């Protein structure tokens, strides 16, 4: 299980892929799969062996110039390949390292194990790699939604064995928990970035009179005071926040809390009337969606990316193609039964469901070599 050199597993704050790896590994091991984790030395997840070349997270290195950091991923990938060869008993490599994982593992030999590489991101990235990819019959990919894969370049799609929706530990036993008491606020949960549409949500909140709370970092800044201390930045998400979102943040109708971590995050989401997704991009996997449902909060959004696969319109949320319909749907969300969303999450988005689906894909990959 290759989680890469950037953050520990589980991460101590923001870390989408590392969180999914931490969610997947325990139920895989319960199913009897032995897991060797490739990560950084400070990872604390229970595994059969930890392989690492870096003792600590390399994410902070990403701020440095390319010619000073371009050895990080090769060093990590080299350690993965060495461990695979030295152990000699690895049946399959499940890789999560963007671009570099796919390309280096495609260079493994015929005697090495096959690879399943999970595509966690927007597949319009890396057109030179994805548009020409050749896995030699030993490297396969999976998406995190059907929509994400359907938009992939043909060469990459030819290597796809299917998709696996994301999961959350919050879905475990969600159908047995008491539905939460609801407040009146609406939440947008995620990085503040144009694709997530916080500016649209904030404008609608003012125009239509609903209270909106934004939770999530702006680039590397996790709190309003961290961001306020920065005068100039070439981070595009900082520019987006300052120009398009901040003018609406008045501390009353629209508030920005910075990154909110569990358990405060879960209380914030559970108490919300709805989680809003005014998306401007095809959201590939949408962890925030499955988390909201598990916490009994309907998701109201634009029907982009994975949302139609995760949200049952009229039952666990509302989706529309028209942004001017969002305020009425936010209003209507108060009438949906939170227990429906929680039952759906317990049925579809638990770690055990995700692990069982990955085992199916592992079997498909193993059968193909
Ligand atoms: N998140 C969080 N606190 C915040 C904002 C986001 O813990 O203030 C978490 C969120 O709950 C989710 C993850 O960060 O688990 C974001 O993953 P998602 O797939 O929703 O979006 P991505 O950032 O990967 O596009």
Q: Where are the domains of the chain?
A: 16-167+350-368, 170-348
Which of 16, 188, 257 maximizes ligand 1 atoms within 8 Å of its Cβ, making it the mutation to test the pocket?
16
Omega cis (within 30) before 39:
no
Give me the percent of the chain exceeding a pLDDT of 70.
100
Question: Rounded mean pLDDT of 300-305?
Answer: 98
Q: Of all protein residues, whose CA lies closest to atom 6 belonging to ligand 1?
A: 190
Select from 146, 172, 131, 151 the least CA-distant residue to 350: 172
Distances (CA, A) of 100 to 117, 187, 289, 331: 11, 35, 28, 45
Beta-bridge mates of residue 119: none
pLDDT at 234 over 90: no
| The pLDDT value given to residue 120 | 97
**C-alpha of residue 24 to centroid of ligand 1, in Å:** 17
DSSP category for residue 361: H
Give me the pLDDT at residue 14, please: 79
pLDDT of residue 12: 84
CATH of 16-167+350-368, one of 3.30.565.10, 3.40.50.300, 3.40.50.2000, 3.30.230.70: 3.40.50.2000
Q: Output the pLDDT for position 355.
A: 98
Separation between Cα atoms, residue 136 and residue 122, nearest integer Å: 23
Name which residue sits closest to atom 1 of ligand 1, judged by CA. Answer: 190
Q: Which of 12, 190, 191 to mutate to test the pocket of ligand 1 (most atoms within 8 A of CB)?
A: 190
Q: Do domains 16-167+350-368 and 170-348 have the same CATH topology?
A: yes
Q: What is residue 215's predicted lDDT score, i.e. its pLDDT?
A: 97
Q: For position 73, what pLDDT does the model report? A: 97
**Per-residue pLDDT averaged across 13-41, rounded?**
95
Q: What spacing in Å lies between the alpha carbon of 49 and ligand 1's midpoint?
A: 28
Q: How far is the CA of 260 from the centre of ligand 1 (A)?
A: 10
Is it the case that residue 212 has pLDDT exceeding 80?
yes
Whose Cα sits closest to atom 7 in ligand 1? Answer: 261
Q: Which of 215, 154, 212 is nearest to 190 (CA)?
A: 215
Q: Note the Cα 189 to chain centre separation in Å.
A: 12
pLDDT value, residue 110: 87
Question: How much of the chain exceeds pLDDT 90, in percent?
Answer: 95
Residue identifier of the C-alpha nearest atom 24 of ligand 1: 16
Does the pLDDT at position 56 exceed 80?
yes
13 C-alpha vs ligand 1 centroid, how far in Å?
A: 10
Residues with CB under 6 A from ligand 1: 14, 16, 19, 189-191, 215-216, 259-261, 265, 285-288, 291
Q: Picking from 4-13, 32-41, 157-166, 295-304, which range would have the lowest pLDDT averaged per residue?
A: 4-13
Give per-residue pLDDT as tens, 58-77: 998 888 899 999 999 999 99
What topology does CATH give the domain 170-348? Rossmann fold (3.40.50)
Question: Is 31's pLDDT higher than 90?
Answer: yes
User: What per-residue confidence (pLDDT) applies to 135?
Assistant: 94
* pLDDT one-digit tens code per residue, 347-366: 999 999 999 999 999 999 99
- For residues 260 and 215, the answer to whether their CB atoms sit within 8 Å is yes
Please compute the mean of the pLDDT values over residues 151-174 and round it to a whole number. 97
Where residue 256 falls among pLDDT bands split at 50, 70, 90? very high
Determine the pLDDT at residue 10: 96
Output the CA 190–ligand 1 centroid distance in Å. 5
Ligand 1 atom nearest the C-alpha of 166 is 19
């Amino acid at each position: 299980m290759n989680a890469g050199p950037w953050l520990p597993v589980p991460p101590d704050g923001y870390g989408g892929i590392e969180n999914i790896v931490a969610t997947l590994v325990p139920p895989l091991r319960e199913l009897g799969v032995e897991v060797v984790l490739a990560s950084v030395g400070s990872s604390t997840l229970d595994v059969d062996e930890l392989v690492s070349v870096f003792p600590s997270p390399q994410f902070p290195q990403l701020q440095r110039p390319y010619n000073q950091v371009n050895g990080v991923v090769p060093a990590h990938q080299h350690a993965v390949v060495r461990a695979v060869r030295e152990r000699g008993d690895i049946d399959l490599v499940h890789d999560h390292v963007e671009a570099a994982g796919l390309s280096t593992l495609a260079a493994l030999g015929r005697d090495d194990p096959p690879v399943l590489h999970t595509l966690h991101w927007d597949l319009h990235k890396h057109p030179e790699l994805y548009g020409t990819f050749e896995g030699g019959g030993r490297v396969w990919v999976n998406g995190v939604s059907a929509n994400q894969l359907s938009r992939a370049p043909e060469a990459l799609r030819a290597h796809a064995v299917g998709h696996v929706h994301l999961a959350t530990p919050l879905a475990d036993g969600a159908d047995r928990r008491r539905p939460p008491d609801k407040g009146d606020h609406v939440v947008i949960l995620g990085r503040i970035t144009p694709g997530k549409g916080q500016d649209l949500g904030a404008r609608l909140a003012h125009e239509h009179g609903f209270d909106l709370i934004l939770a999530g970092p702006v680039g590397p800044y996790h709190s309003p005071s961290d961001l306020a201390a920065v005068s100039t930045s070439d981070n595009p998400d900082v520019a987006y926040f300052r120009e398009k979102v901040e003018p609406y943040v008045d501390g009353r109708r629209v508030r920005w809390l910075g990154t909110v971590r569990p358990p405060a995050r879960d209380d914030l989401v559970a108490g919300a009337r709805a989680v809003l997704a005014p998306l401007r991009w095809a959201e590939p996997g949408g962890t925030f969606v499955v988390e909201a449902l598990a916490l009994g909060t309907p998701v109201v959004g634009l029907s982009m990316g994975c949302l139609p696969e995760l949200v049952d319109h009229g039952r666990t949320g509302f989706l529309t193609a028209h942004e001017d319909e969002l305020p009425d749907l936010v209003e209507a969300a108060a009438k949906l039964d939170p227990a429906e969303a929680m039952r759906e999450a317990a049925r579809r988005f638990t770690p055990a469901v995700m692990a069982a689906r990955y085992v199916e894909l592992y079997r498909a990959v193993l059968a193909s070599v």
